[in-house]
Every structure is written in structure tokens, then in C-alpha cells.
Structure 1
Amino acid sequence: MCILRSFATFSSASRLNLNKSKSEIYFNGVQNGTVENIIQFSGFHRGALPFKHLGVPISSKKLTKEQGLKLTDKIVARIRGYGARYLSYAGRVTLVNSVLSTLHSYWAIIFLIPYGIMNKINAICMNYLWSGKADYKKAPNIRWDICCLPKTEGGLGIKESKSWNKALLGKYVWWLAKKKDHLWVRWVSHVYMKGKNWTDYKAPLDSSWSWRRINYIMQLFKQAYTNNRWHNTDVSYNVADGYDWLRNRQSKVQWRYLCWNSLNVPKCAFIYWAIMHSKLLTKDRLLRMGVPVTVDCEICGVQLETHQHLFIECAFTQTCSTILQQRLRVRIRLQDLVGWYSDGRTATKLQKRFIGACHISLMYEIWKVRNEARVHGYVRSPSTIVEHVLGSIKSRCLKKNYSTLSRKDQT
């Protein structure tokens, strides 16, 4: 009666009327006679769990495998689109971060997603990144845990689904620690914890799966709380901080700013990232994998094709680098590029970004020339490659607003 009166008050205030033919009512622990009286009086249809609301299944029990497949099917549907299949590696990274991870986050903020479903989500994202398909049987070029590291630590900044789900559920711990008047906190304290401090509470073995999982998150996150304060500060908990606290931190790589320079062409930056991990499929790696190939460099045909030879020592690469440095009026050895870029005394910030972007674009073109030589037996001239490199970086510069720069930098 109180609920119907509330609906009537809302309708009179908002002019929005309730459609009883499209509304359902759900019961739990109510006698059949009472259920029939409520249905007859309210005019609602009786619904059954699970049901779908805002695109996700609502259930009082653990998320089943069949319900979890609906999430993976939505992710796969985004991948099977014509445009998504033919994106570059850099485009796939963007799609994984902006679309696929967002779909997972929408569910993860509502559900405790079982590990089996999250493992499948990780596999789909990894397969798509390296093959453009949801199913891929070969081993990836670079391990997924490395791809999930922040860019400053040598990764691609992709969110790892298991840790991200835990970080999203860390909000419940924050509610228990701070929001004493929260309805959910009051209900949990009355039904489960019965006045105990949340840091000392442990869920009994006969409690529901969902409550045991929430209790696991509580035990995990209580290490980050001191006197019910997140990191012993007055700062509120947020998901990004929780994810950063959960993950395994690595040391920062020296080449991070050179690789993710704002002037870099994204596909060139991705190839340079793979070069710095020595994970491109050069002939020395193919030989270690058992692939029968000739050992000579595809471009010069003199030495064994390795990352060190192809991108630094090869005579063709050295010629291209010499021509590029003459055009840029600088003298930098390729093996010293990272150290030169990190040194703040060498040039202005814009000059370093421009010169660094040109060299990374050159390495991308070297890899492209190597593949062209392998497939078509054709090698472009060094001067043609350098002109293409300078043209691509110049076009990116012209799209930016440099009106506030010095005259030297503008020139």
C-alpha cells in the first residue's frame, strides 16, 4: 500500500504514469495467499528471477556461466565488425581500452564476476590485439601481463580485468569504513556483522557466495586502511587508486616518454614499443620458434637478422639515419637516442619531441621495408623513406597550435 501510494505521488508530481501491463513484482519468503492478495490489489504481474534490467541480468544468486556468456558475446560482437577487424595494432589497443574494457566495467561494478568469465574476457582481448579475431591459437608476441602494465612501466595501459573488478568492488569496503548511514551498510551490519568491526569480521563458510566474495575483498583491502582511513589520509577511495594499489608495480622504463611522445604516429609508437621489448618476429626469434628461415638480414643480406642488427647496425638503417640527421641538423647515434631524449640539456621540449618522433617513424619504416623485402623482394631507397618520415611528422605538427612557442621552436 505504501509503495502504491508513493507511485501515485510520483505520478502526480512528474506527470509520468506507471504502466502496470509492463511492470512486474518479485517476492521472496512470502506466503502464497499473501502473494495472491498483493497481485490482485496492485495489478502487477508476478516476475521470476533472473530478469534483465539496463542490459544486465538481475539475479539473487551467483552469476552463472550462461549469463556470463552474454557479456562475452557482446564483446565479441564489437570485434566482428568490419572496421574493427582491419584496425592497426594501435587502433586495436584503443578499442580494447575504450570499448571492450568499458563493457566489462559496466558489469563489474554491479556483479562479482567469476574468474572463469574474466579469464575468457582476457583471452578475447589478447587474441583481438594480436590477430584481430576473438579466437587465436598462437602464442602472443608479448605476454598479457606486460600489456596490462601502465605505459610508464613498459606496458600499453590496458586494464587487467581481475584486478579491475576487485578495485570496483573496493567501494563496498569504503562504504563500510566511512558511510555509517548508508542503507547497504546498515543492512549488512544488522544481518551479517551484528555490530562487529569490519576489519575483524570473517564470513562463515555457510554464507552465500556473493557475501564470501565481498568478505574476501574486505580482507584484501583492509591492509590499505589505517583507522578506517584510505592510505591513512583524508582522501576518498577511488577505483583508479584501488587498482594501482592492487597491481604488481614494476620499475619505470627510461624510454617511456620517447615512445609515447604526442607527435608520434600511434602505429609507429606501437612498433617501437615492441622493438624495446625485442618481441618483433625477426629471424633470430623465428629460428628459436623452430620456423625454417634463412638467417641473413632481408635488407642487407649480410648478418643474422636481430633487433640489434636491423634497427641499429644494418648498413641500410645507418644510411637512412644519416640522411635523416642531415635534414634535421642533429648528430645522434641510434643506440644513444633514449639517453639523448631523457637529457634535458640537449634541446627544447618541442625539438626533442619532433626529432624523437622522426626517429621512431624511421624505425617503423625500416620494419615495413624489411617486410616488403621478405614478401615482394623490393627495397625502397633511403631518401624516399626519409622524405616520407619527415612528411608524416610535419603533417602532425601542422595540426597543433604552436602560437605560444618561441620563434625558434616555430621555425
Structure 2
Amino acid sequence: MTQVQTSKGSKWSNMCLRDKTDIYFNGVRSEIVKDIIQISGFRIGKLPFKYLGVPISSKKITKYEGQKLIERIVIRIRALGARHLSYAGRLILVQSVLATMHSYWASFFLLHAGILKKVDSICRNFLWGGRDSYLRAPNVNWDKCCTPKEEGGGCLGLKNASQWNRALLGKYTDWLATKKDHLCVKWVNHVYKKGCDWKDYSAPTDCIWFWKKIIHIKDKFKQGYVNELWLNQTIPYSVAAGYQWLRTKNAKVSWRFLYWNSLNVPRHSFIYWASQHCKLLTLDRMIKMGRGTATICYICGVEPETHEHLFYKCEYSKICMKLLQDYLHLSFLAEDMVKWFSTGRGRSGLQRVFTGACFVGVIYAIWNARNRARIYHRLAAPWILVK
């Protein structure tokens, strides 16, 4: 009885396997195709088809096919309902949800430039407006947001979609360089390379588009290999290292230790980062953008509102900074906090981190007080902000 049940189960599993399996042929005579179909019972599939949600095709992935990726990202944004989140909250969602959806496709194909540009624009619009569509000009340029923290970039290390796509595909170059024991590498060596040195190899004109793109990426990354090692190191290639190698390097900023701080509240870090780039919507910037006519500071009502005035020159901010100085027993003015951090002198590590977190928190509180004064015409007492 047990043998009969096992036999029936085996037949049933084989039937399910045949119903869910397609077979594809290329350059095979029709007689052989008929024999294989008759023996296996599989169906003849047609390209393109989907595998694990990714379109598989012998031709180039078009902008129209990549639009499905854009639609999924847009649907996810609308499902998140994050319009009322802070900038820091939306930043985390962009990094953890939206960017990973693009990375899945980008690890297989060199996507269309229009699709990559659209992914960047959707992430940018969501970060600054909470929607997928364009509402207003972003406070900070997207390229600046994608630079590392030490160079004054975004607080969570956002990635440029185009460069990240190339860095993901750089792993195939590493397979060729290090001769990984993969079936696909063996097949490539047998069909395409045929013993040729991988650095000097160029793709034939009649090969598939995917292989041409891989060779195009290889020509970019081969400069990073010395003695068949990535950057002449024993450490193997990683996508993060490839992305850093591709991008343009910038000078490190002196205030990076203040907003890149383990004790900082994320929203405090984000506001401080934007203030250091002078990209908060103060009245002087709003006039340049054609979005207002008021110029006088909402807090003091005396001088024009700029970043320098609001956070350091306004009487309200001076009181806040003086209270912070007294509270932390600082021997220097709070305006010199960046210089103090950059020199590396003074207190111990934990004290410095705590001091920086308090300073960034006061900057956020001043900005919050300014917004309340603008909207509600109320101003919090300065000593409340530093307690």
C-alpha cells in the first residue's frame, strides 16, 4: 500500500512539474525539438518571460519593460502613506525600501538610462515631498545627497542609481578576473573567451546584448585590477567598494563629526546637515525661489532671515547657545563647535559625542521654534530648548 501511494505521489509531482515547466530552444533542428518535447512532456516557451519577477529576454530590456519596476515603486510609495513623516523618516524608507527594489533588477541587467533617472527622481521626490510626483524643487541636489557622510552627503548614504547599477554588475567582472568556479564562467570561457586574456577580450558583434553590456562594464572595471586582484588587495571585490571606486571623490568636510554622531536623533542630524549646506527654506532662499516676499526674521523681527542670522546672530539663538555653553561648561562659544571638533582637542571621546549631540539638538530646536513662530505666532522660551 505504501509503494502504491508513493508511486501515485511521484506521478502527481511529475505532472505538476511538467505543467509549470517550459523549455526553450535556439539553433536546434525541428526533429530534435520534437523528440525532446515528446520524451520530457515539457511545453515550448516563448521569450520574453518572467523568472522571480524579472523579465528574461534575449533582447535588450526596453524602457517600456522597465516601466514595470517604476510602477512597483510608485505602488509601494502610495502604500507607505508617509507624507506626514519627518525628513529623517522618509530618508530611512528611501534607503531601506525603495532603493532595494531597484537593486534587485539592477543586479541582473544594465537598465535603461531613462529608468535609472526615473528611479532617482522618484526617490528624490519622496524624500523631499512624500510623494512620487514632482511637487517643488528639492532642498539639496540629489548628487549631493548621494555622496558619503564624510564628504557632506546624505545621513544614510543614499546611492546614485546609475552608478549603483554598474557596481552591482561589476561582480561579473570579478568572476572573470578571479576565474570563479561557476558554471556560467565555465560556459563563457568555452563559448566566448576561448582562452583569451579577459582584459583584452572584446565582445563579438553577433553576441547577445547582455554579454555586450557585461563586457562594457568589464572595460570600466579592469583598471581597478592589479595582478588579477581588486585594487591589488587580498580582499575580494564588493559592490560597496566598486561603487566608491566609480564615483567622483570630494573633499571631506570639517563638520562631519557633528551630524555623523551615534547619540544624535536622526531628525536632528538631517536638519543640521541641511543647515550646513544652507538649504533650509529660510526667507532669503524662499525669495530667490519666488515663493514669498517677507525678509525679516520671524523670531526677532529686526534683521533679514538667513542661515547665519537664524542660528548664530539672532538674539533668540544667542540666548540658546549661551545656555548650552553654560549647561555643558564649554570654554568656547557654541559658534566655534565645528572648529573644536575638527581640531580633535579637548574632552574625551564620549564627552565630545555628547556635546555634539546637544549642539545639533539645539540647532534643530531653533529651527523648530522659527517654524512655530511663523505658523502659530508663538515662541518657546529659550531655556526650554536646552533642558
Q: TM-score, normalised by structure 2?
A: 0.91
| Bigger Cα displacement from structure 2, 231-240 vs 99-108 | 231-240
The 5 Å alignment of 1:268-283 reads: 268-283=268-283
Distance apart, 1:95 and its partner CA: 1.2
CA distance in 2, matches of 1:359, 1:198: 54
Task: Give the alignment's Cα RMSD to 1 decimal.
Answer: 2.1
SS of residue matched to 1:302: coil
Q: CA contact under 8 A between 2:49 and 2:57: conserved in structure 1? A: yes
Q: Which amino acid aligns with 1:101?
A: A
SS of residue matched to 1:140: coil
Q: Which amino acid aligns with 1:328?
A: L
SS of residue matched to 1:85: coil
| Contiguous gaps of at least 5 residues in structure 2 | 1-8
Match of 1:386 in 2: 386
Distance apart, 1:205 and its partner CA: 4.4
Distance apart, 1:167 and its partner CA: 1.1
CA distance in 1, matches of 2:84, 2:197: 54
Match of 1:176 in 2: 176
Does residue 62 of the first structure (1) align with residue 60 of the second (2)? yes
CA distance in 2, matches of 1:201, 1:45: 37
CA distance in 2, matches of 1:131, 1:299: 26
Percent identical among aligned pairs is: 53
Q: Note the alpha carbon deviations across 1:308-360, whole angstroms, 9 max, x for none.
A: 00000100001122223323333442320112233443112222222221121
Match of 1:147 in 2: 145
Match of 2:196 in 1: 196
Match of 1:227 in 2: 227
SS of residue matched to 1:264: coil
Q: Note the alpha carbon deviations across 1:21-50, whole angstroms, 9 max, x for none.
A: 222222222333433332222122222222
Change (3 A) 1:245 1:364: same
Distance apart, 1:206 and its partner CA: 4.8
Q: Which amino acid aligns with 1:150?
A: P
Distance apart, 1:16 and its partner CA: 7.3
| Bigger Cα displacement from structure 2, 233-242 vs 323-332 | 323-332
Match of 2:349 in 1: 349
Distance apart, 1:195 and its partner CA: 2.9
SS of residue matched to 1:52: strand
The 5 Å alignment of 1:21-32 reads: 21-32=19-30
Q: Which amino acid aligns with 2:149?
A: K
Match of 2:38 in 1: 40
CA distance in 1, matches of 2:230, 2:344: 36
Match of 1:92 in 2: 90
Match of 2:263 in 1: 263
Q: Note the alpha carbon deviations across 1:177-212, whole angstroms, 9 max, x for none.
A: 111654323332333334321211223445433222
Match of 2:247 in 1: 247
Q: CA contact under 8 A between 1:78 and 1:84: conserved in structure 2? A: no
- Pairing partner for 2:115 from 108, 117, 123: 117
| Bigger Cα displacement from structure 2, 202-211 vs 151-160 | 202-211
Match of 1:237 in 2: 237
Does residue 160 of the first structure (1) align with residue 160 of the second (2)? yes
CA distance in 2, matches of 1:82, 1:210: 34
| Contiguous gaps of at least 5 residues in structure 1 | 1-10, 388-411
Q: TM-score, normalised by structure 1?
A: 0.86
